[in-house]
Structure 1
Amino acid sequence: MKAQLSLPLQSLPQRSQLQTLWSDTLTIFWGDWLDLRVRIAQVAATGLISPLIYIIGFGLGLGSALDRAMAPPAGDSYLEFILPGMVALSSMTISFGGTTFSICGDRLFTKTFEELLLMPVHPLALYLGKMLAGIVRGLMTSASVLIIAILFTGKIFSFLNPLFLGILILNCAVFAGLGVITGLSVKSLESVGLYNNFLIVPMSFLGATFFDPSTLPSVLKVIVYCLPLTYTSISLRSAAYLPLNQFPWYSFPVLLSVAIALAFWGAYRFSHQQD
């Protein structure tokens, strides 16, 4: 009888810790949301310029010539082929950049980041709260690109389906988490530019946004498949245009594993952060 009673009693603290972690996460997120909600239009439009330029230059300009020469592996035209990649690109750019600059602003300019570190909150909750804010930033901009994609193609449910949205959220989580860690690491805004130039910009072009990675030579294919954006691009493209049996299901565990690894790394950085 004692053994039967002790089991629920032992599980109560675990549930309490999870509830505390979740409530602390939402508290941190709410602080960023109060700033985001007054800039929704600005945030949504921030990452829209680059995808629009790529859509016009590559999709309509170069795409018209490519459509006469070959059929794309997914979608009815090259423009349709690159549109899921543009969604992946915009979500990556804003999730990473918005989160990085938000933390850098608190650390280097307003000097309010020390107050955050002094809060009686678990380091993982600090990371998750900042990451959730980054996900919201990425989804805001992605929604703008999705509207453009739907207007160009007329295929509403190709882009608004559970597989497409699930991969999109995971992609935002990965790059928002990377933005949190970068924001904690840099010492100046110039350093943010270095991360952007050597990490985000190359990934924008090598992350399967404009091409099918299966056509690359083996050496280049290894490099491209080391980038998390590659899994997002091919998955969004498959979710939008291809049958369910051709969907690359391995993308979910890959992106989820990267997100979890970044969460542990981010919690460690928060627990050892000194500003």
Structure 2
Amino acid sequence: MKSQPLPPLSHNSSKPIKEPQLPTILADTLTVFWGEWLKLRSRIVQIASTGLISPLIYIFAFGLGLGGALDRAMKPPVGDNYLEFILPGMVALSSMTISFGGTTFSICGERLFTKTFEEILLLPVHPLALHLGKMLAGIARGLMTSGSVILVAVLFTGKIGSFLNPLFLLLLTLNCAVFAGLGVIVGLRVKSLESVGLYNNFLIVPMSFLGGTFFDPSTLPVALKIIVYCLPLTYTSVSLRAAAYSPLSQFPWYSLPILLVAAIALSVAGAYQFSHQQD
């Protein structure tokens, strides 16, 4: 008996694959973050104090030591003295260091040592949710450490409102998001802990000194100014300083969209890296 040919598939017979909805991605992000938080909550004091050593050294060496001589020679652009001038930069510096380093080493530990990272890749969640969950954990690390630096800044200056206003905290969170997102990408790509050291030595350490933490970038020559303003930490340092000491009319509002776009771009890159991760 001659078989009848199959009818052609209609347009409605093929069901399109549904893209993940935003509420699902947000829920998965919080789930991934909660798993990270369960590991972080038992080490809050350790995390908060880890990034406090370097800022304290800079505060005593530059703010109190070198700052005394500078205060006799000149007045800083903002703040009553050089110590007040560098304190917002120290907050930015500590948040950058811990957000990046803590996130990178956490992912490297899961990939290279405990070998538990494959379990994360098997989770039925969107790659963007994996990135955002890890990034939120990095933001939490950065806020813990920078919170201790803010406490030191308040003790030295007595200006609580300068360091605990909404604009200051928003900038601080965006800075943590940028460097936590960068830490996720680096943690996914490196093959050994030695490679992490290379990123730290050639990216984080130079940015610590060139990111406007100890000087006013607007006073630099044009060529150097272009280089310095390519660093995201520069926008954070300048903006935190303005949020702490200057009126809103003098605040560099362009810093907010720049940091936000950087965080979003790193999130897209991180989601892409997660979707193509093999280990």
User: Shorter-chain TM-score: what band?
Assistant: over 0.9
Bigger helix fraction:
1
Q: Distance in 1 between matches of 2:132 and 2:248?
A: 32
**Over alpha carbons, which structure has the higher Rg?**
2
The code of the aligned residue for 1:162 comes to P
1:191 Cα deviation from its structure 2 partner: 0.3
Percent identity of equivalent pairs? 80
Counterpart residue number, 1:25: 29
Alignment of 1:26-45 (within 5 A): 26-45=30-49
The code of the aligned residue for 1:181 comes to I
Select the residue among 222, 225, 242 that pairs with 1:221.
225
Q: Distance in 2 between matches of 1:59 and 1:207?
A: 17
Select the residue among 80, 92, 97 that pairs with 2:96.
92
The code of the aligned residue for 2:108 comes to C
Q: Distance in 2 between matches of 1:233 and 1:190?
A: 29
Select the residue among 85, 88, 112 that pairs with 2:116.
112
Report if aligned partners of 2:100, 2:179 keep a CA contact under 8 Å in 1.
yes
Select the residue among 134, 138, 142 that pairs with 1:138.
142
* TM-score where L is the length of structure 1: 0.94
Report if aligned partners of 2:48, 2:147 keep a CA contact under 8 Å in 1.
yes
Question: Does residue 1:234 correspond to 2:242, yes or no?
Answer: no
Question: Does residue 1:83 correspond to 2:87, yes or no?
Answer: yes
The code of the aligned residue for 1:143 comes to G
Question: Does residue 1:264 correspond to 2:271, yes or no?
Answer: no
1:131 Cα deviation from its structure 2 partner: 0.1
1:107 Cα deviation from its structure 2 partner: 0.1
1:17 Cα deviation from its structure 2 partner: 1.2
The code of the aligned residue for 1:144 comes to S
Q: Distance in 1 between matches of 2:173 and 2:31?
A: 20
Select the residue among 178, 184, 191 that pairs with 2:188.
184
The code of the aligned residue for 2:250 comes to Q
Q: Which runs of 5+ in 1 are unaligned?
A: 1-13
1:268 Cα deviation from its structure 2 partner: 0.2
Count of residue pairs brought into register by the alignment:
263
The code of the aligned residue for 1:43 comes to I
Q: Write out per-residue CA displacement over residues 196-236 of structure 1, whole angstroms, 9 at most, x where no aligned residue.
A: 00000000000000000000000000000000000000000
Counterpart residue number, 2:165: 161
Q: Which runs of 5+ in 2 are unaligned?
A: 1-17
Q: Distance in 1 between matches of 2:90 and 2:59?
A: 8
Counterpart residue number, 2:210: 206
1:19 Cα deviation from its structure 2 partner: 1.1
Q: Write out per-residue CA displacement over residues 71-111 of structure 1, whole angstroms, 9 at most, x where no aligned residue.
A: 00000000000000000000000000000000000000000
Q: Distance in 1 between matches of 2:40 and 2:122?
A: 23
Q: Secondary structure at the match of 1:187?
A: coil
Report if aligned partners of 2:20, 2:126 keep a CA contact under 8 Å in 1.
no
Counterpart residue number, 2:7: none
1:15 Cα deviation from its structure 2 partner: 11
Q: Distance in 1 between matches of 2:164 and 2:119?
A: 40
Q: Distance in 2 between matches of 1:257 and 1:22?
A: 19
CA RMSD of aligned residues (A): 1.2
Q: Distance in 2 between matches of 1:139 and 1:84?
A: 14
The code of the aligned residue for 1:264 comes to V
The code of the aligned residue for 1:121 comes to V
Q: Distance in 2 between matches of 1:135 and 1:121?
A: 21
With over 3 angstroms needed to count, the CA separation of the structure-2 counterparts of 1:106 and 1:15, relative to structure 1, is: closer
Q: Distance in 2 between matches of 1:15 and 1:162?
A: 35
Select the residue among 52, 55, 68 that pairs with 1:51.
55
